[in-house]
A = this chain, B = another copy of it.
Amino acid sequence: MPGESQLREFFTYLRFPSVSADPARVAEMAACAAWLRAKLAALGFDAALHPTPGPPVVLARRASPRPGAPTLLIYGHYDVQPADPPTLWASPPFEPEVRDGLVYARGATDNKGQTFAHILGTEAWLAAHGDLPVNLIYLLDGEEEIGSPHFGAVLRARAADLACDAILVSDTSMVAPGQPAVACGLRGIVCVDLRVSGPATDLHSGAFGGAVANPAAELARLLAALHDEAGRVAIPGFYDQVAPIDPAEAAGWRTLAFDEGEVLRATGSPALAGEAGFTTLERIWGRPTAEVNGITAGYQGPGSKTIIPAHASAKLSFRLVPHQSPGDIARKVQAFFAAQAAPGVAVATTYDHGGDPFYADPNTPFGRLVREALRETFGREAVLVREGLSIPVVSLLRQELGRDAVLVGLGLPDCSAHGPNETFPLEHLDRGIALHLAILQRLAG
């Protein structure tokens, strides 16, 4: 179990409501970044906040006295997903609470717990050895959950300070309790807003119903057209650039102890669903998707209000696989909706953010080293997986720093990363510290 002061600091970190999607949280974002900077400065890092038009990036470096020591960059993010709806949280999202060995808080797993385990690992190493065996860089983003819109510019501006030999990103998942994993692939993403406008104001549905187009009904028609009956995305050209899943990789996935019943239990879904012809893992790891993340239209209060709403809108996200690109897919989405718009409404598709899909060779020297450290920490060989989620910064790191990140994770599949009641096992804080020490030991080696 983590020590009392470690836990106290972790909880302080979790209490910052660092929701990057919410413009009202600017001050809390800045306070969270300042706290992180101070923590790393106290560990002897040259730590600074790099300003952006959004929240700052925390950049902290500590050189090793060893001549010719390699440089390791650890990426994490201090921003978190929105915590709504607050009513579904059993305890307040920004008041961490431990129940049955799990810390409940927004950001507990994604990504504060994982980031902080590494920082505590550095602290433990320094306590034991006084100095670091590698030049260590912490690069902590404040906009990961909104697609890191300013991160590329920071990488370019600080390229000289960020030159490194290896990159570790701890923002993915284990495949099961006790079973570590290295993720070789991530899905990309593109998020758009779709807005359908009709009458100038809400209309009385008795006085005008049947004679003017209803934007809510038209929005539903557009969203229903996104998929065909086989669960495929029906946007023309959507699959044009999709790389087929490599049969050898798919064979590896089939050896994993993957239990569809566990997915049903973890999600509470009545049944699995998806694109015909693919397994659940293939659907999540190797196939692109179109998802409706939210819809808002007209009256949503108690009882009824008999109106034709003036407009209706939806938030959509598309998960991409190699070699799809966010810009190309966004254009196809825009063209698809524009082509389907009925005469009585105006349809507008707005690009929110996007990130490239990622795939990297797991057998680089640093990749092998991390897998050895994982085996030492967990007593089991790490499995090679992909993740269905998107970490656009991983592609930016490749592009700007010329290194492929190695992706490990301390989260569990049922941690509710973007939902209510997000959790992180307290034990994994210790495991993360041990993993960090094992990596430094090997790099020192």
Contact = CB atoms under 8 A, between A and B. Distances in A.
A5 interface: no
Contacts of A191: 304, 306
A292 B272 CA distance: 28
Given A294-B299, A302-B21, A271 B344 contact: yes
Nearest to A295: B297
A171 B404 CA distance: 70
A148 interface: no
Interface in A27-65: none
Given A23-B302, A269-B212, A187 B201 contact: no
B212 A273 contact: yes
Contacts of A209: 284, 289, 291, 317, 319, 388
B84 A344 contact: no
Given A213-B273, A389-B206, A305 B268 contact: no
A82 interface: yes
A114 interface: no
Interface in A127-177: 146-147, 173
A295 B201 contact: no
A389 B151 CA distance: 55
B307 A418 contact: yes
Interface residues of A, number: 101
Contacts of A287: 210
A418 B299 CA distance: 11
Given A199-B269, A295-B220, A82 B227 contact: no
A343 interface: yes
- Residue of A146, A211, A273, A292 with highest tally of chain B CB at under 10 A: A211
Contact of A22 (B223, B226, B298, B302): B302
Contacts of A352: 303-304
A220 B271 CA distance: 19
Given A210-B291, A221-B223, 6 more contacts: A205-B291, A209-B319, A211-B263, A212-B263, A217-B227, A220-B224
Interface of A: 20-23, 81-82, 84, 88, 146-147, 173, 187, 189, 191, 198-214, 216-217, 219-227, 263, 267-275, 280, 283-284, 287-289, 291-310, 312, 314-315, 317, 319, 342-346, 352-353, 387-390, 413, 416-421
